[in-house]
Amino acid sequence: MIKIFRKIRQRLITENKFSKYLIYAIGEITLVVIGILLALQINNWNIDRTNKSESIKFNQRLLTEVNENIVLINIKIKKIKSMVMSSKGILELINKQPNDESLKSLDSLIFVSIMGVNNKVRTGTLNEGLNTGKVALIGSDDLKSKLYGLPSVIENISEADKTYSHYNDQILQPFLFKNFNFRTMDQKFSGYDLGDSKFNFSHNKDLINNEQFENLIDNHFFQSNSQLLFHMSLKNQFEEIKKLIEEELPLKN
């Protein structure tokens, strides 16, 4: 084809037909430009197709991660609710006239209150998408905005969890180690046979008459409540993200 164009140009020049040569040259340039534009368009189509395929694969993996996190958060919320109710139960117990049954229930209430929660959300796919630019390939601006903001939300909740853990490990439990019999509690609820403690059961009676203990449990109640609100909010965000991802994915036949 190139040889044919070259022969036509040479013939026009030889025959001194400059005007026709000029028209031909312009036509040839136009064809070249059109060819380049077509090549660019095809290349853009290929890039768009590749990006769309990558976006679908990423969204599918992200949806899996989001579903796993919703399960983990539901478990965590359930535990925190138990901690909140147990703390409230201890405060109600303190206000009642103690008897043997209520004093025995204190062991179970403390066991649940201080059990803590450790399961963290999974962010491997999310971090990959943010670091490699795959999040930017997502079509929904609302979804992208939520994904870009999610790490800071998770970090804030992680800091709240650390605050609770510090309070539980460094303040509440050290007090209980001095004023409460852990062996008796663990014998009943840990699942291990530790045998009975030789120390007096009056620890529980002394404990519910201790104002410092009441203050510590009161603070524990509010700390746990704050944790609960944080994690319920995070669950809602994950559920909104799940819905937006599902809207992005192609419908299955």
Instruction: Assign 36 a pLDDT band (cuts: 50, 70, 90).
Output: confident
Picking from 120, 163, 138, the residue whose alpha carbon sits closest to that of residue 58 is 138
Task: Give me 145's structure tokens.
Answer: 């905005």
Choice between 201 and 173, residue whose per-residue pLDDT is larger: 173
User: How high is the pLDDT of residue 82?
Assistant: 94
Mean pLDDT confidence for 175-200: 84
Choice between 188 and 230, residue whose per-residue pLDDT is larger: 230
| Within-domain flag for 242 | yes
Mean pLDDT confidence for 167-193: 88
pTM over 0.85: no
Instruction: Assign 253 a pLDDT band (cuts: 50, 70, 90).
Output: very low
DSSP string for residues in 167-232: HIIIIIHHHHHHHS-HHHHHHHHSSS-----SS-THHHHHHHT-HHHHHHHHHHHHHHHHHHHHHH
| Within-domain flag for 200 | yes
| Within-domain flag for 41 | no
| Within-domain flag for 37 | no
| Within-domain flag for 134 | yes
User: How high is the pLDDT of residue 29?
Assistant: 67
Total number of domains constituting the chain: 1
| Within-domain flag for 86 | yes
Q: Above 90 in pLDDT, residue 54? A: no
| Within-domain flag for 29 | no
Mean pLDDT confidence for 48-61: 77
User: How high is the pLDDT of residue 228?
Assistant: 94
Q: pLDDT tens digits for 93-132?
A: 988 877 767 777 888 899 999 888 877 899 999 999 999 9
Q: Above 80 in pLDDT, residue 7? A: no
Instruction: Assign 142 a pLDDT band (cuts: 50, 70, 90).
Output: very high
Q: Above 60 in pLDDT, residue 39? A: yes
The residue segments making up the domain with residue 202 are 54-248
| Within-domain flag for 116 | yes
Task: Give the C-alpha separation, 84 to 102, whole Å.
Answer: 18
The angle subtended at Cα 78 by Cα 104 and Cα 179, nearest 5°, is 35
Q: Above 90 in pLDDT, residue 22? A: no
Whether the CB-CB separation of 234 and 77 falls below 8 Å is answered with: no
User: How high is the pLDDT of residue 12?
Assistant: 47
Q: Above 90 in pLDDT, residue 40? A: no
